Amino acid sequence: MNFPETLWALTGSPWALRPDTLLGVTLLLIAAALLGELVWRALRWPRMVGYVGVGTLLALLGTGADPGEPALRLVIDVALALLLFETGARLNLRWLLANPWLLATGVAESLLAAVAVFATARALGLDGQSAAVLALIAMSVSPAVVLRVVGECGAAGQVTERLLALTALNTLLAVLAIQALSAGWLLSDPETWLAALPVVTLALLGSLLLGVALGAVVAWIARRLDLRDENAVLMLLGFVLLAIVVAKTLHLSTLLVPLLAGLWLRNRSDRPWVWPRHFGSAGGVLVLVLFVAVGSASSPLDHPQALAIATALIAARWAAKGLAVFALARPSGLSWRQAASLSACLLPMSATAWVLAIDFAATHPAAAPTLLPVLLTMLALVELVGPLLLLYALRYAGELDPPTQATQAPAPLPPKGSS
Amino acid sequence: MSLGEFSRSKAFTLGVELELQIVNRHDYDLAPGAADLLRLVARHKTAADVKPEITSSMIELSTGVCERHPEVVEQLLEVRDMLVVCAEQQNLRLCGGGTHAFQDWSKRRIYDTPRFHHVSQLYGYLSKQFTVFGQHVHIGCPSPDQALWLLHAISRFVPHVIALSASSPYVQGSDTGFQSARLNSVFAFPMSGRAPFVLSWDAFSAYFEKMTRTGVVESMKDFYWDIRPKPEFGTIEVRVMDTPLGVEQAAAIAAYLQCVARWLLLERPFEPQEDDYLAYTYNRFQACRFGLDGVVVDPRTAERESLRRLIAQTLRDVELHAIELHAEGGLALIRAQLASGHGTDANWLRAVHAREQYLPELVRRQCLRFEGRDG
């Protein structure tokens, strides 16, 4: 290989998120980390806003990520798996039993959001099938955004706890519902249903089994090794990667497997589990790439014809989720202020919705032309607003770390008894 | 603000206050859940009362005025069970123990009331480091002079109850070597320590007047003494105990103090004097550091004796009073504690940690102990 050729390989189409443009990818990583640090220092915004911001710039330049690229897709799947695993591990089923109003909130906000999105989509002229897919995807609140903002800002409190639980619950419902819908469509075709039946059943059973197996392995490791130790965490990362590779090979759900694994780990025993966020720095890099990739998936300008309908669907979804939270706030033990905060927090949609949509479109190519433009525009509209709204809503609920306190001495007590 | 009248209360009535830790169910760190918990508590009615404390990861429960140990146990169990249910609905958990094993003091939030904000501003990091959890016992006194006499006479038993309640070996993630490290946080406050040696209410009021004139204190609340008179209740309040891991132990310690108070006031086995305080801080240190194995000095005879033996002796001294007060159940628990291998809650915590090597799991076991599910 001669020199000019090498130079061309390094710089050719440098901004695409492809492995053959190593220089481009490297520069992107640096740019995302830099912008993340900048918004953090200047504005105290979560760094992920910077990552998504770089992705948005890419989208505007028209060089967004192509999820069809296998290497990028693997990174997305693994990063998302780490986040979904952590999300699953925050859903304590005993809590839902102890506070049935919370369970009711979770089911109601998911169903209402689906109904509202479906009705709005139909009213605006979308076909029933696309409207149904959009409605089910819209149930899920982005676990990636929620976990990342909560983790970066050190949020703690009732709204944070409920947000994590609701996110895990509505994501689980959305993934299962989409699988059911997809299976239903395959089975309703009289030509293929007999062939599809075992495939569909095995896919669901396999996802369940693999999820439980991953959860059991993590529990087994965690009992014997200290999860705060770097080497133990790398081993965990390896097992998550393995589970994803197996899931992809067997055509199982790469979303369901890690979510169920986390859920199984949390609820199998009461023992606390603590591991570094995103499984340490290795996972952190993957998550960064995930946010850049999702941000670059689409810009609001890519599909101008879908802009109005996407905006309407987001509004309907948000209003429905807020309505459910407010209606059940008092019996479930929330103050009105907390209910307002929690409602606002349910806006984000991100990587999970994206993956659900592109996978659905891959299985049902006929649905792609209407489904993808609307969904990608929805994601593009909330990708920067969502995390910021989350940040300010959690601050409104008083759940962020207190700002560093003023150190001046308090006024001295007034003298007493001087008469 | 003047000190006011000393209310009269029935002799040897009891009131118990317990400061409890609120933790999350994920990693068992302290959780700012006081307001969430109190919102649900308001829907229940119990004999005991539940109130917020200075940091939002702490609540305080207090019994009503009780005459007997069984009544204290009954009220504490009732409010405990109610709190456990409320906490579960908010995905929180409660536990005893004088300190949280691994919380980071810089992360604590101040509960939102003007007084708590003032205290926080005045004491700075001390008020957050003060995220420690104690048991207070009120003992009713029919007259203020009797209250002051009892306050100074019972100060000799302060090391006993420190040792019996010790449950704070871990602070900020490390083993301090102490059985009760919590009191080290309390001693950092300028107004901590012991009350001045005066035995009449008039002399005490004069002292209080002089102190308020300096502007250093505003009310009795600004004194963080080990034992202080509480004129509004007509009680003396013993404040040196860690919150024990179980409410039964808290009730037993209250019963022990009640029996000792009755024995002291009715039999007057000795007269308190200023020189009793010569070895006071040393003896208190021994109890904090070594618990029941601490060796304390009698300032009058210069004799040394282990707390384990002194408590056993005291149990014999107050036997008749225990029968009179129906406190045998509580004292039996203390007798069993002296005889057992573990002895203190602090030793139990160390044993669990030696096995688990994992502080979040240790806090979870503490929660189980508080809930009465063994652990």
Q: For residue A156, how many C-alpha atoms fall within 13 Å in the half-sphere facing its CB?
A: 22
Please give the structure tokens belonging to residue A389. 């709204």
Percent of the residues in chain B that have a pLDDT greater than 90, as a whole number: 80
Kindly state the tokens that stand for A285.
């890099």
Predicted confidence band of residue B2 (pLDDT cuts 50, 70, 90): low
How many angstroms separate the CA atoms of B133 and B20, rounded?
6
The domains of chain B, with CATH numbers, are 14-371 (3.30.590.20)
User: How many CA atoms within 13 Å lie on the side-chain side of B225?
Assistant: 19
Give just the sign of the alpha carbon dihedral B65, B69, B75, B79. positive
Q: What are the residues of chain B with a beta carbon less than 8 Å away from any beta carbon of chain A?
A: 1, 24-29, 31-33, 35-36, 39-40, 85, 88-91, 107, 109-110, 112, 118, 120-122, 124, 209, 212-213, 215-216, 218, 357-358, 360-361, 363-364
Mean pLDDT for the stretch of residues B203-231:
92
> Is there a contact between A415 and B91 if contact means CB atoms under 8 Å apart?
no
Question: Residue B244: helix, strand or coil by DSSP?
Answer: coil
Nearest to A88 by CA among A254, A236, A248, A256: A256
The CA distance from B371 to B94, in Å, is 8
What is the pLDDT, as a whole number, of residue A402?
59
**CA–CA distances in Å: residue A95 to residues A162, A267, A331, B228:** 10, 10, 15, 42
Q: Which residue from A158, A274, A414 is facing B36, i.e. has the nearest CB?
A: A158
Closest CA to A350 of A147, A122, A91, A133: A147
Chain A partners of B357 at a C-beta cutoff of 8 Å? 226
Q: Which residue has the higher pLDDT, A302 or B329?
A: B329
Task: Report phi then psi at A278, rounded to 5.
Answer: 50, 30
ipTM of the complex: 0.89
Residue positions counted in chain B: 375
Of A272, A412, A417, the CB nearest to B213: A417
Q: What architecture does CATH give domain A68-280+304-346+353-375?
A: Up-down Bundle (1.20)
Name the DSSP class of B13: -
Tokens found for residue B3: 């000190």
**Cα A226 from Cα A78, distance rounded (Å):** 23
Give the integer Cα–Cα distance in Å for A239 and A221. 10
Q: What is the mean pLDDT of residues B97-122?
A: 79
Confidence (pLDDT) at A10: 47
Q: Which residue of A has its CA nearest to B93?
A: A95
Mode of pairing for the β-strands spanning B227-230 and B92-95? unpaired
- Most A CBs within 10 Å, among B28, B89, B364, to test the A interface: B89
Q: For chain A, how far is it from start to end, CA to CA, in angstroms?
A: 97
Residue range B275-303: average pLDDT?
Answer: 96
* Residue B71 CB coordination number (10 Å): 18
- Taking the C-alpha atoms of residue A349 and residue A374, their distance in angstroms, rounded to an integer, is 13
User: Are the beta carbons of B89 and A333 separated by less than 8 Å?
Assistant: yes
Cα(A419)–Cα(A411) distance, rounded to whole angstroms? 21
Interchain pair B27, A333: CB under 8 A: no
Residues of B in contact with A88 (CB under 8 A): none
Q: Which two tokens stand for residue B188?
A: 């950092």
Q: Do A156 and B24 touch (CB under 8 A)?
A: yes
pLDDT score at B217: 87
Q: Which of B358, B362, B363, B364 to mutate to test the interface with A (most CBs of A within 10 A)?
A: B358
From A125-139, A371-385, B117-131, B228-242, the region with the lowest mean pLDDT: B117-131
pLDDT on residue A414 = 37
Select the residue of B26, B209, B363 nearest A90 (Cβ to Cβ): B26
> How is B161-213 classified by DSSP, letter by letter?
HHHHH--B-EETTEE-S-SB-HHHHHHTSTTEE---S--SHHHHHHHHHHHHH
Measured CA angle at B111 (ends B105, B112), to 5 deg: 140
Q: Which residues pair with B18 in a beta bridge?
A: B61, B135
Does B89 sit within 8 Å of A98, measured CB to CB? yes
Tell me what the mean pLDDT of segment B244-257 comes to: 98
Burial class (CB in 10 A: 0-12, 13-18, 19+), A54: buried
Domain-by-domain residue ranges, chain A? 68-280+304-346+353-375
Q: Is B135 helix (H, G, I), strand (E, B) or coil?
A: strand
- Looking at the complex, report in whole angstroms how far the Cα of residue B80 sits from the nearest Cα belonging to chain A: 17
User: Which of A99, A271, A410 is facing B364, going by the closest CB pair?
Assistant: A271
Distance CA B297, CA B282 (A): 8
Q: Is A271 at the interface with chain B, CB within 8 A?
A: yes
- Contact A333/B40 with Cβ under 8 angstroms? yes
Q: Please judge whether B33 and A158 are an interchain contact, meaning their C-beta atoms are less than 8 angstroms apart.
A: yes
Tell me the whole-structure pTM to 2 decimals.
0.91
Tell me the C-alpha distance between B54 and B63, whole Å: 19
Q: Write out residues 200-229 of A within 8 Å (CB-CB) of B.
A: 226
Tell which residue, B181, B173, B167, B183, has the closest CA to residue B342. B167
The alpha-carbon gap from B90 to the nearest alpha carbon of chain A, in Å, equals 7
Looking at beta carbons, which pairs linking A233-236 to residues 24 or more positions away fall under 8 Å?
Answer: A233/A275, A233/A276, A233/A279, A233/A280, A234/A279, A234/A280, A234/A282, A236/A275, A236/A279
Q: What is the pLDDT along chain A (419 residues), one digit of tens a residue?
A: 455 555 444 444 444 555 456 777 788 889 999 999 999 999 999 999 999 999 999 888 887 777 778 888 888 999 999 999 999 999 999 999 999 999 999 999 999 999 999 999 999 999 999 999 999 999 999 999 999 999 988 899 999 999 999 999 999 999 999 998 988 888 887 777 777 788 778 888 999 999 999 999 988 888 888 777 778 888 888 999 999 999 999 989 999 999 999 999 999 988 887 777 777 777 888 899 999 999 988 888 888 999 999 999 999 999 999 999 999 999 999 999 999 999 999 999 999 999 999 999 998 898 899 999 999 999 999 999 999 999 999 999 999 875 544 333 443 343 333 33
Tokens 């060089």, residue located:
A63
Tokens found for residue B19: 């400061």
Task: Count H helices and E strands in chain A, helices first.
Answer: 19, 0
B90–A99 CB contact, under 8 Å: yes
Q: In this complex, do A333 and B109 lie within 8 Å of one another by their Cβ atoms?
A: no
Residue A412: per-residue pLDDT: 39
Question: Taking CB atoms and an 8 Å cutoff, what residues of chain A touch B36?
Answer: 157-158, 333
Instruction: State residue B54's pLDDT score.
Output: 77
Predicted local confidence at residue B106, as pLDDT = 67
Chain A, residues 88-107, CB within 8 A of chain B, namely 90, 92, 94-95, 98-99, 102
What pLDDT score was predicted for residue B375? 58
Mean pLDDT, all residues of chain B: 93
- Band (B187; pLDDT cuts 50, 70, 90): confident
Picking from A405, A407, A408, A419 by the largest number of B CB atoms within 10 A of its own CB, the best residue to mutate is A405
